[in-house]
Amino acid sequence: MPGAAVAISNCDGLAGLIRTDSNEFFIEPLERGQQDTEEHGRAHVVYRRSAIRQDGAEPPHDLHPEGPGVQVGELPNSLELMAERLGDAERKRRHARKDDYNIEVLLAVDDSVVRFHGKEHVQNYVLTLMNIVDEIYHDESLGVHINIVLVRMIMVGYRQSVSLIERGNPSRSLEQVCRWAHSQQRPDPAHAEHHDHAVFLTRQDFGPAGYAPVTGMCHPLRSCTLNHEDGFSSAFVVAHETGHVLGMEHDGQGNRCADETSMGSIMAPLVQAAFHRYHWSRCSKQELNRYIHSYDCLLDDPFEHQWPTLPELPGINYSMDEQCRFDFGVGYKTCTAFRTFDPCKQLWCSHPDNPYFCKTKKGPPLDGTECSPGKWCFKGHCIWKTSEQPYSQDGSWSSWSKFGSCSRTCGGGVRSRSRSCDNPPPAYGGRPCPGATYEYQVCNAEECPGPFQDFRAQQCSKRNSYYTHQNSKHSWLPYEHHDDAQKCELICQSEGTGDVVFMNQVVHDGTRCSYRDPYSVCVRGECLHVGCDKEVGSLKQDDKCGVCGGDNSHCRTVKGTLAKTPKQPGVLKMFEIPAGARHLQIEEMEPAPHSIAVKNQATGNFILNAKGQEAKSQVFIEMGLEWEYAVEQGKESLKTSGPLHEAISVLVVPQEEEVRSSLMYRYIIHEDLLPMIGNNNVLLEEMDSYEWALKSWSQCSKACGGGIQYTKYGCRRKSDNRMVHRNFCDNSKKPKPIRRRCNLQECSQPMWVAEEWGGCEGQVLVGVMEQKPGMCSVTCGEGVQQRQVVCKGSDSGARCEGDKPEAIQGCHVAVCPGKSRKTNQTPSRGVLSALSLPWLLGIVVLSLQGNSLASPPVPMPVTTARPKGSGCPRREPKTP
């Protein structure tokens, strides 16, 4: 037939594609058992391409959907895949080596992973992660040699990432990820980036640690895995989920390999494998052998890809502190609360905010991690580096470039400068340059002249004339997304319909990240923290009335309540709020058939409930501020954190005449901006302010012969001179201690001085006992008392004469309820109490106080441990 083309395989029946000028046909043999007898030949099925449904892939329904056979809905995809394979005869060929397979992987890294690791470092991180996965599949216990070959890497943008992953819905998330991966497939099987399998990494919480279809390998819509990335141990999750796609089941579930789970088998239901201890169970090996020969897509030789060269040992590029951050989050570092005999046995981590609360995933650091000078970790042991290892070259920064131009001419812009890690670049496993490539400065921070203009609102309103949504133009208002990761996306809201629309671009550099933060700005699509002193990274904050680093001493609170009754139709003006007001609250005192309205005095425009508008609860942005308006049980309220850039008028829109409207308002303002007060309903309150005050002198360093003592300062409230907690005062303003000499008298003959024996009183607080000097160790029955006995006046080194008074004696308080006087009750001292919780992700948590433990305990399922004291409990002061 002229113009016809045929691609047919005669291996195990006829399978392939027949193409004519007018049609395309697929042919495929039926499964054995449905065929005719051998003498009549084997039955086949033939389809026209036009008769095949194109959306037929059946989505997975449970954690690991079953189905190694082709389902009816999946047949079109299988036939198309067959046609692709047959059309790629030059590239698809059987390896000379037996049991050698290549899984060509598309690696998708979503925005949550990119943001956590940083755009500059994420590629090397995920390459290291996939190298570990490759090593896991090279373990001899698998029985076959499988190579994980990365052919393509995609950094998924924020919008795509959040649309693919549904929080708490792993089934739906997996379905969407698999369909997305299919849409990314290179249509030409001969293309160097044509993939067999997709691996999707995310830090979004979709549910379990991983999710995948069983026996989906080589299927266009089922050869994919969804994996939660939380450190290099995630390599075992990727290997586990890919194992499901290859046909492996959980060890101990439907097979007899439960005994191997505790030894670190990869396919354990709860993965306990670690870098120094992992293997494939005998069941995994058998299950893989059952299916591996049917995965024809793994039989081709992959193209060579020029990925960055990584060191042979993955830990060379990552310190223990960095691995702690990957495992547990930002701020985590190596635990220093105790010293371990070998730091490579297990990686223990803690957060600086709670350094004695240590956690581990029960695995060692990566091989190659530096554990001490000249040593590194290898298979859970700290060993000397070998002489064969080439000398590593750490990267070093070039000099900084000059600062570029400012992104804004007024109102607070940003300028930047950069440097390169090429002086020299890291080589031979050397560490990359520490720190950031870019440095930013705030510039042109003075306010723009004229009426206040919201910079983000300007960017939205510019689209009024040309941007169409649903085939029509709109008046666009700024919209702030609740997700911090989207603060620097340009998102606008239609004034007419309320539709929220992503404008598919980031805001202009220098735009404020949030209406609740007047200083932090967006740069290159990411939020840059700025303090009130306009310095990048500064922690300085405004006080309640806008004084940078202030103590509220210049703040005033204005409160008032007004009640008016409308006498005629039209809006009724209630009161005005001046520019500069902060923390503004307006509330209706009692339900009324009226609506609160607010008008900008500078422009005359209504910003809330213009006459005729329906009053409904909403969060809206006006005058460069975020406002919260609520209508609950007939009562209205309005609040904003401020500051007001212009004064506002608060009005009431009457719905009925002769019905009183009563409003309460409250705001904080700097005393220099305070308006004239002429209404008896208004009360001025001073904000509480605090100062450091001399509290006492420290104990003298010597009892006699001249010692030294220092001043102790406490925090005092100025309004009533009462001492309060030191957190109320600014630590940076705390005076330096004053030193003076004390106990100048000459030392007399040394003598023994003993504390008085005391009674026992107090109560147990949160299960912790605290013993005061001289108290009995028990609250009832027989116990012991301890007191301090010291030799006074022995500074010269002389010793006290005579016998030392007793420091310990027996004591009896009262007969214990339900106990006879013969019952002995010995106090328990120095007990370490542990609370065992259900197993969760194989994490062990150790909580310490002081340095009471020298080494971590034997790991238990998610354990917390806190040391206890003993003796009489502490009494808390009673509140009158």
Q: Which residue in 241, 245, 175 sits closest to 210, CA to CA?
A: 241
CB 566 within 8 A of CB 654: yes
Radius of gyration of the chain (CA): 37
Q: Is residue 241 flagged as an active site residue?
A: yes
- Quote the Cα angle for 796-799-802, to 5°: 150
Residue 691 Cα distances to 286, 543, 622, 695, 715, angstroms: 75, 15, 38, 12, 6
Does residue 412 contact residue 445 with C-beta atoms inside 8 Å?
yes
| 541: CB partners within 8 A, 6+ apart | 531, 532, 548, 549
Dihedral, CA of residue 51, residue 52, residue 55 and residue 58, to nearest 10: 130
324 is in an annotated binding site: no
Q: How far apart are CA 192 and CA 147, in angstroms?
A: 16
Residue 195 marked as a ligand binder = no
| β strands within 641-757, DSSP E | 648-654, 661-670, 683-686, 690-697, 707-717, 723-724, 739-742, 751-754
Q: Which residues contact 324 (CB under 8 A, 6 or more apart)?
A: 332, 333, 334, 347, 349
Q: Tell me: is residue 196 an annotated ligand-binding position.
A: yes
244 is known to lie in a ligand binding site: yes
Query: Which of 254, 275, 250, 273 is CA-nearest to residue 262?
Result: 273
Largest distance between two CA atoms of the chain? 125
Tell me how far the alpha carbon of residue 798 is from its chain's centroid: 61
Burial 301-324 (b: 16+ CB within 10 A, else e): ebeeeeeeeebebbbbbbbbebbb
Structural contact between residues 786 and 808, judged by C-beta atoms closer than 8 angstroms: yes
Instruction: Single out the catalytic residue among 175, 241, 287, 370.
Output: 241
C-alpha distances (whole Å) from 222 to each of 59, 85, 182, 399, 652 are 8, 17, 9, 50, 61
**Residues near 842 by beta carbon (within 8 Å), at least 6 away in sequence:** 270, 271, 272, 361, 362, 861
Alpha helices in 474-564 (DSSP H): none
CA distance 71 to 68: 9
Residues 625 and 640: beta-carbon distance below 8 Å: yes
**Helix (DSSP H) and strand (DSSP E) numbers for the chain:** 9, 47
Q: What is the layout of strands, in order, in the sheet containing 15-19?
A: 5-9, 15-19, 24-29, 44-48
8 A C-beta contact, residue 836 and residue 860? yes
Kindly report the number of other CB atoms within 10 A of residue 144's CB atom: 17
* Distance from chain centroid for Cα 150: 27
Any residues with CB less than 8 A from the CB of 458 and at least 6 apart, and which?
Answer: none
- Contact indicator for 841, 361 with CB cutoff of 8 Å: yes
Q: Six-digit token pair at 378?
A: 């290898």
Note the residue count of the chain: 880
Q: Which helix (H) or strand (E) holds 688?
A: none
Q: Is 756 annotated as a binding residue?
A: no
Question: What are phi and psi for residue 133, nearest 5 degrees?
Answer: -60, -45
User: How far apart are the two ends of the chain, measured CA to CA in Å?
Assistant: 104
Is 646 annotated in a binding site? The answer is no
Q: In Å, what is the CA distance from 446 to each residue of 408, 413, 428, 511, 527?
A: 11, 10, 49, 14, 20
Do the annotations mark residue 297 as ligand-binding?
yes
HSE-CB of 177 using CA atoms within 13 angstroms: 36
Residues that constitute the known binding site for Zn(2+)? 240, 244, 250
Q: Which residues are annotated as a binding site?
A: 104, 196, 240, 244, 250, 297, 300
Active site residues: 241
Per the annotation, binding residues for Ca(2+) are 104, 196, 297, 300
